[in-house]
Chains A and B, each alone.
Chain A
Amino acid sequence: MGNVGAKEIPELFGPDGLRTDGRRPDELRPLKITAGPLHQADGSAFVEWGFNKVMAAVYGPREVHPRHLQENNKAIVQCRYNMAAFSVDERKRPGLDRRSQEISKVIAEAFESVIFAEEYPRTSVDVYIEVLQANAGTRCAGVVAASVALADAGIPMVDLLPAVAVGKVGGKLVLDLNKLEDNFGEADLPMALVPQSGRLVLMQMEGHMHRDELGRALDMGVAGCRGIYEKMKAALRDRYAVAPAASSEVSA
């Protein structure tokens, strides 16, 4: 992880065993999901998660650009995960760096694992993720936002994809790393779950995690994903809730 040559490692747990932001080891940061905030996109979602702010939009199924990527028997999923120049402390050069391209690839593959792509041959489902404010866990926030946006766009899928990272901080496993924990932690393991099958369609890991800890880390992440899943469904329900009709109109 990124602590080579860095300053003193700060205290990451208080005397009460709570984390720097007051959370228990298995507690998520506050998560707010808004479905359908954009008007031009076929589907959209805005996720505020801790200090992250991530917008996602979905277009399609539509014609494939560039044309040669078109597949005759199914839709393809194209994803662009991008961080705004102002989303991090030190201005990031605009455009897709290699990290963003890798994340775009694994997110596209995660969604292609759950979308019923064969229903829309020769089309593309385009998923755009813009990280507007970053504070660790942006790829997971991006997956959550994009997943709700896909549902908002009416793309048929096996399931929504909740996502969260499990990390190791000061020798302890914790759920949903914040920026400080991400900078000074020993390991980071982001994942995305298909709740219905209990299988992971996105998983990456970096750092040091002993072989005996892996099982517990995965269990913690899966449990975290299940909590996020409920919030994703609630966001979609809010978006499509029908306002209760006035009693006078309920006749007939």
Chain B
Amino acid sequence: MSDEVTAEILSTHILDLARQGKRLDGRTPDEYRRIEVEHGFVVTADGSALARIGETAVLSGIKLEPGKPYPDTPNAGVLTTNAELIPLSSPTFEPGPPHPRAIEVSRVVDRAIRAAETIDLKKLCVTPSEKCWSCFVDIHVLDHSGNIIDAASLAALGALTHATLPQKRFGIAEADIPLAVEHFPVECTFTRLGETIVVDATFDEERAGQGRVTIATDEAGNIVAMQKGLIGAFSPDDVKEMAERAFRHGDRLRAIARGV
């Protein structure tokens, strides 16, 4: 049997189960797989975290370097987020220039970090228009078993909360200091399976799904970013319900990312 045929049979089965509020791995529609965040996975980085959600694994590393503020934001440091869907993580990823889906992951994770003002970029400015810190958040998806957006967001927040400003390396000061993290955004992603909306979809559930919605929340009750992706439609009531669910999961995800 070809892969295409087995995938279709599996999708039909997943949708049948969803109709009864069940999932292939026994979870309820509102249940995450096991989540773990390992801080300091890469010592060469100024901060790093490996996030695992079930079989999905995403590694994020932070690098801070002296840079120059952008002309339109002379009083702010620079934050750059980039996600790579490297071919080792899935048979469906190919080498080459970034695929739109990698760009989407980067931008959705970046949007939450930026909009939540996770890092106060003004504090990364050293001399206006001249010198600042550039903070690079690089994300590598290592094992794509579904829901890479939430894993990437956990890895990025985990890495940022444990990052140090490498002042010594650049001869700026005698000692390094921790990077100040002000807010703690996490993303929560939902997938439509028929009329059931599940959180934290697996790879097979994503393939069977009819649209996805990501909602990023902060610790103060704000929604800081949203993204509807893939083919599918959601009513405003669906969106409101997903937002409430995102807040319910948010505090636990935040605690895991921070390691507190």
Show the binding face of A for B, using Cβ within 8 Å: 1, 4-6, 98-99, 101-102, 104-106, 109, 112-113, 189, 194, 197-212, 214-215, 218-219, 222
Contacts and interface: CB of A to CB of B under 8 A. Distances in A.
Contacts of A197: 233, 235
A203 B247 contact: no
The prevalent SS among residues of B at the interface is: mixed
Contacts of B217: 211
A6 B72 CA distance: 8
Given A5-B75, A199-B238, A208-B218, 10 more contacts: A99-B107, A105-B100, A105-B104, A112-B231, A197-B235, A200-B235, A202-B228, A205-B226, A206-B114, A206-B225
A197 B237 CA distance: 12
Contacts of A209: 222-223
Given A4-B73, A106-B227, A189-B226, A211 B221 contact: yes
Nearest to A205: B226
A206 to B, nearest CB: 5
19 contacts: A102-B103, A102-B107, A104-B100, A105-B100, A105-B229, A109-B230, A109-B231, A112-B231, A113-B231, A189-B226, A200-B228, A200-B233, A200-B234, A203-B213, A205-B226, A206-B111, A211-B223, A214-B240, A214-B243
A211 B106 CA distance: 24
Interface in B191-249: 211, 213, 217-218, 221-236, 238-240, 243-244, 247
Contacts of A202: 228
B101 interface: yes
Chain B interface bracket (under 10, 10 to 19, 20 to 34, 35 or more): 35 or more
Given A201-B232, A202-B228, A208-B115, A5 B73 contact: yes
A210 B230 contact: no
B233 A101 contact: no
A180 to B, nearest CB: 15
B244 to A, nearest CB: 7
B234 A203 contact: yes
Contacts of A200: 228, 233-236, 239
Given A101-B100, A208-B222, A106 B243 contact: no
Nearest to B246: A211
Contacts of B244: 211
A5 B228 contact: no
B76 interface: yes
A5 B76 contact: yes
A104 B213 CA distance: 17
B228 A203 contact: yes
